[in-house]
Amino acid sequence: MYDAKLEVSKLLSKYAEGLNEQQLYDMLEVPPSPEMGDLALPCFKLSKHLRKPPVQIAESLAASMPKVDFIDKVEAVSGYVNIFLNRTIFVDKLLAEVLDTGKVFGSSDEGRGKNIVIDFSSPNIAKPFHIGHLRSTVIGNALYRMFKFMGYNCIGINYLGDWGTQFGKLIVAYKKWGDEDKVRKDLVKELVSLYVRFHEEAESDPSLEDEARYWFAQLEKGNEEALALWRWFVDISLEEYAKIYDVLGVKFDLFQGEAFFNDKMEPVVNELKAKGLLVESEGAMIVDLEDEDMPPCLILKSDGSTLYATRDITAAIYRKNTFDFYKCIYVTGVSQSLHFKQVFKVIEKMGYDWHKDLHHVPFGTVSIGGEKLATRTGKVILLEDLLTQAISKTAAIIEEKNADLPNKEEVACQMGVGAVIFSDLFSNRIKDVSFSWDEILNFDGETGPYVQYTHARACSVLRKAGGVELKAFDASLLKSDEEYSLAKTLADFPSKVKQALDELEPSIITRYLVDVAHDFNRFYHVHSILVEDEALRTSRLALTQAAKTVLKSGLELIGLSAPERV
RNA sequence: GCGCCUGUAGCUCAGUGGAUAGAGCGUUCGACUCCGACUCGAAAGGUCGCAGGUUCAACUCCUGUCAGGCGCACCA
């Protein structure tokens, strides 16, 4: 891959006293405005060492630089050495590479032979899939695709919330008020209304709580009636979630919920005990983390039953043994930050050096009008409703603008869903989100449909051009600001993917796509692509093809479709 | 009370210690005989929460402080 910055730092290292290539590479930066060049070296740090004022250093450095083909101009401006690259060479190298590598442009094989476990989505069984679950799902999915792009072998695990006292409540409610046909018909909706009813009735009749505890205990003991009902609830829920995952284009390699670990926790508890980590406190068994400035990690309740942390520690060990992961990533809300810090610390204390490969990827909280989402009070927006609305709005726009589109429904779905995913991946994941119908259904500006539309527009031009041998392009014809700036942005793709992965932050790709779309649209607006002059046409088409390639790869990395016509 | 996170334009947000702090929405003005106008250009809009400190240089690092969010023992 052509890295202009690397070439420049190689060259500079011959003239900058006491600085090696790597140091110069790290010091080189992109000036705030293109009039100041493509790369700049601030000379302030050299001042002390060289005992000369920065302005003088910059000037003598600029003067000593020899004439080379890939640099057009070197200027010294108030302490900076500004470097202007040769546009033709830059564009030539970039286009040649993108045309040559195509959809693998920006990818690598750095992950070959390494397993990445990504624990994401993980909805609670018998509860509706609402917009609160969306974030884990789309962030996890984007990370999955990004790691895969870099050659890693990914294992996406849906760690379903399929165990816990709520099943005792649900069994009681179903036995008292449930109706099999109704459940078969309305699925999770009916399970939720049973759950809600349980809480309403329990207000006036506390004995219901005891019954629920009894039935959960039965479930844990393996009572067949309880187990059968539990399995049925799980199956119903999974069936419904499957539809949503299908619409979102999300796949898992494994559905392995909490229940899976029920019979695997005891050995881990024993191990904790054997390693002298387990101590009794207020009747419960804990791992004390006071020396780590953390509250204790609860392992067993005073009645001897297990807890969230017990299960997560068990699951981590199981995953390490099963997949020998290079990294294991948990995509959950920020409210679980302390929990994961404790769990990771306990694993470290158990003597497992792979604790450093465990990563919590937190994201901010979703609220509606300042209130938190809660299934119990009905304060939720179902993802299904959101997607339906987004799709029908897109369908209406297509009907208005492009009624002759052949596969309208499919495209409406791709763009409607795309809008929702894109908006969720647009800001840094740690930011809290206040849900608003207006905002999420507004497709103007920096949105998924904008990027998808731009991609389709590029496709349209290429289609119209017919089969052209793009590799015959002449980069010297692409020297305008708009063309060069688009090429520079496209060249950033590999480093953006890398950065997004380093920071486990999909929004870096999302924002980058907006930059690409914007640069392409400006280029498109200022320059005609399908011009008479064949050489010019071929060259601009090659640039269009490169933009299309990057847009498509980028969209797919964050889990969006890139339809050719919209 | 303690801990973590967040505070940047009216709103939603970008911003690897470096040059004049940037987008989108909204507002105002402008560009369609033209490859798809879900487009493009321009204007207006800022004490980067506040106060200290480090530095040649701070939105960025450190300390303090204020505001909001989240968490802090038997839920997950």
Can you give the distance from the CA of residue A458 to the C1' of nucleotide B31 in angstroms?
21
Tell me which of A411 and A206 has the higher pLDDT.
A411
Note whether A187 and A240 are within 8 A (CB).
yes
**Residue A127 appears among annotated catalytic residues:** yes
Percent of chain A with pLDDT over 70: 99
Q: Give the pLDDT band of residue A376 (cuts 50, 70, 90).
A: low
Closest C-alpha among A125, A130, A27 to residue A81:
A27
- Residue from A127, A327, A488, A552 carrying the catalytic annotation: A127
Query: Measured in whole angstroms, how far is the alpha carbon of residue A377 from the centre of its chain?
Result: 30
Residues 6+ apart with CB under 8 A from A256: A157, A158, A159, A160
Can you give the distance from the CA of residue A45 to the C1' of nucleotide B51 in angstroms?
29
Bridge-partner residues for A361, per DSSP?
A331
Closest C-alpha among A130, A190, A29, A182 to residue A384:
A130
Angle between helices A383-401 and A224-248 (to 10 degrees): 20
**Nearest nucleotide (CA of A432 to C1'):** B69
- Looking at this predicted complex, what is its ipTM? 0.96
Can you give the distance from the CA of residue A514 to the C1' of nucleotide B9 in angstroms?
20
Residues in chain A: 566
pLDDT tens sequence across A443-467: 989 999 999 999 999 999 999 998 8
The protein residue nearest B71 (Cα–C1') is: A335
Q: What share of chain A is helix, strand, coil (3-state, %, to 5)?
A: 60, 15, 30
Note whether A16 and A63 are within 8 A (CB).
no
> Mean pLDDT of all residues in chain A?
93
Is residue A90 predicted with pLDDT exceeding 90?
A: yes
pLDDT given at position A81:
94
pLDDT tens sequence across A33-56: 888 999 999 999 888 778 888 999
Percent of chain A with pLDDT over 90: 76
Distance between CA atoms of residues A269 and A284, nearest Å: 13
**Nearest nucleotide (CA of A450 to C1'):** B38
The protein residue nearest B32 (Cα–C1') is: A525
pLDDT tens sequence across A377-423: 667 888 999 999 999 999 999 988 888 888 999 999 999 999 999 99
Closest C-alpha among A465, A499, A484 to residue A543:
A484
Beta strand A371-372 pairing with A366-368 = antiparallel
**Residue A518 appears among annotated catalytic residues:** no
Distance between CA atoms of residues A164 and A172, nearest Å: 14
- CATH number 1.10.730.10 is the correct assignment for the domain at A418-557: yes
Structural domain spans, chain A: 4-85, 418-557
pLDDT given at position A167:
92
Helix/strand number for chain A, H first, E second? 22, 14
- Residue from A5, A93, A133, A349 carrying the catalytic annotation: A133
**Nearest nucleotide (CA of A306 to C1'):** B74
Q: Give the pLDDT band of residue A85 (cuts 50, 70, 90).
A: very high
Query: Measured in whole angstroms, how far is the alpha carbon of residue A166 from the centre of its chain?
Result: 31
Question: What CATH superfamily is the domain A4-85?
Answer: Arginyl tRNA synthetase N-terminal domain (3.30.1360.70)
For A282-321, the DSSP string reads TTEEEE--GGGTSPPEEEE-TTS-B-HHHHHHHHHHHHHH
Beta strand A327-333 pairing with A80-85 = unpaired
**Nearest nucleotide (CA of A80 to C1'):** B19
Can you give the distance from the CA of residue A99 to the C1' of nucleotide B35 in angstroms?
21
Q: Own/partner pairs for A284-291, CB < 8 Å, 24+ apart?
A: A287/A342, A287/A346, A287/A349, A289/A342, A289/A345, A289/A346
pTM listed for this prediction:
0.95
Q: Which two tokens stand for residue A46?
A: 């050299």
pLDDT tens sequence across A113-129: 999 999 999 999 988 89
pLDDT given at position A369:
76
Can you give the distance from the CA of residue A446 to the C1' of nucleotide B36 in angstroms?
19
**Residue A488 appears among annotated catalytic residues:** no
